[in-house]
Structure formats: C-alpha cells, structure tokens
Chain A
Amino acid sequence: GQNIDQPTEMTATEGAIVQINCTYQTSGFNGLFWYQQHAGEAPTFLSYNVLDGLEEKGRFSSFLSRSKGYSYLLLKELQMKDSASYLCAYTSGTYKYIFGTGTRLKVLA
C-alpha cells in the first residue's frame, strides 16, 4: 500500500476539540499536508508542515514529527460546518502526493 494511515471515522461535539492522527512511512519526505473535503466537493487546503512542530492557523493546528512519521490535525471550537472528511497526504521528492483514506468527522450538536 501507500503506507499512510488515519482513522476512518470520528465523532465530536460542537464546541469541543478533536485531534485527527496520521501516520506515514516513506523513504523520502517533502512535506505533510492536510485537506478538508466536504461530500461531493473537491478537497481544500488546510495546512502544510515540512519541519517538526506545530503550525497554528486560527481554529486549526497541525503538528509534525518526522522522526516518528506522525502528524495530527487539531480542530478547536468545533462547528457543525466542520463535519467533513479530513485527508492527510505526504509528498516525497517529486511532488507526487500520496493521500490517506481520509477521516470522516461528524460534529454533533
């Protein structure tokens, strides 16, 4: 396979915080990306990590540990509109993006 894994589904409550994990294995690494995809629509870019650490962008933050092949997307103050699939993807040298299967997040009122 493509050696990138993330949970299939998650459920959280409006206003809460949720963390979506992603693990990957690759011999070359050029960056880790998170995309949001609503049903029937194309993915939209959320974040990009190439160095270890946390990148914060409003309610969304993304973390990367290259040595562990691990990333997470943190969503704070969840809103109903955050119900979507969240895709992590890595690139390795040639800008070929390898996507995980996506995590379907359901936000409950």
Chain B
Amino acid sequence: GAVVSQHPSRVICKSGTSVKIECRSLDFQATTMFWYRQFPKQSLMLMATSNEGSKATYEQGVEKDKFLINHASLTLSTLTVTSAHPEDSSFYICSARGASSPSGGNTIYFGEGSWLTVV
C-alpha cells in the first residue's frame, strides 16, 4: 500500500488565490520531504527540500515567497502556491524519506501527485 499520501489529487483555483497541497508519510517518520513539479512529458523538477523543523532549501529559480513549504511535523509537509497564476498549472509531487521507512531511509517514496489548474 501507499506509504506517502498527497492531497488533493486535483484542484482548480482562480488566478490570484492561494492553494495548499498536503503530503503525509504513513507509518514512518519523514525526516526529509521533497517537492517536485512536472510539466507534461518532462522530468521531475526538484523545487525544494525540507527537513522537519527547519526552513526549506529551495532550488535555484524557485521563488520561496511564492511556493511556501512547511514541514512542521515528521509526518506532514505542506506546499502553498500563493497568488497562483495560470503558468503555475502543473503536476506537483511530494516525496519523503526517513530511517523508519520500509526501505530504511535509502529510498524516497512518492505521493500520488496533485494536479493544479489555475483559471
């Protein structure tokens, strides 16, 4: 079964509003969570890495004020897309790793992904 759960799977929001996506690790403590963005037929682009209790580390070119990441607990990280625009429409995927995961920490597990459409 799934070890990482992501919600919502699909969301439509109006331009200028904010939308929050949740990523939860099930049955293990996710010391590190990753957020990716993927455009159709393209690879996963790492947006940021977050360690529990610390500020997220953003990749170059990713606006930290626009993509707010919170990793307040060992099982939950959230990505908030603020002041969304149509160009933010994409597939957003989280992943998590931790020593107590089924792989013992060597493997990241992906959430189901969230399709965001900004209209």
The interface of chain A, by Cβ under 8 A from chain B, is 31, 33, 35, 40-45, 48, 50, 87, 94-102, 104
Contacts and interface: CB of A to CB of B under 8 A. Distances in A.
B109 interface: yes
Q: Is the interface on chain B under 10, 10 to 19, 20 to 34, or 35 or more residues?
A: 20 to 34
A48 B106 contact: yes
A40 B114 CA distance: 10
Contacts, number: 48
Interface of B: 6, 32, 34, 41-44, 46, 49, 91, 93, 95, 97, 103, 106-113, 115
A39 to B, nearest CB: 9
B44 to A, nearest CB: 5
Contact of A44 (B42, B97, B110, B115): B110
A97 B111 contact: no
Contacts of B93: 42-43
A104 B103 CA distance: 26
Contacts of A44: 110
8 contacts: A33-B107, A40-B91, A42-B6, A42-B113, A87-B43, A95-B32, A96-B49, A97-B46
A42 B32 CA distance: 18
Given A87-B44, A99-B43, A101-B42, A41 B113 contact: yes
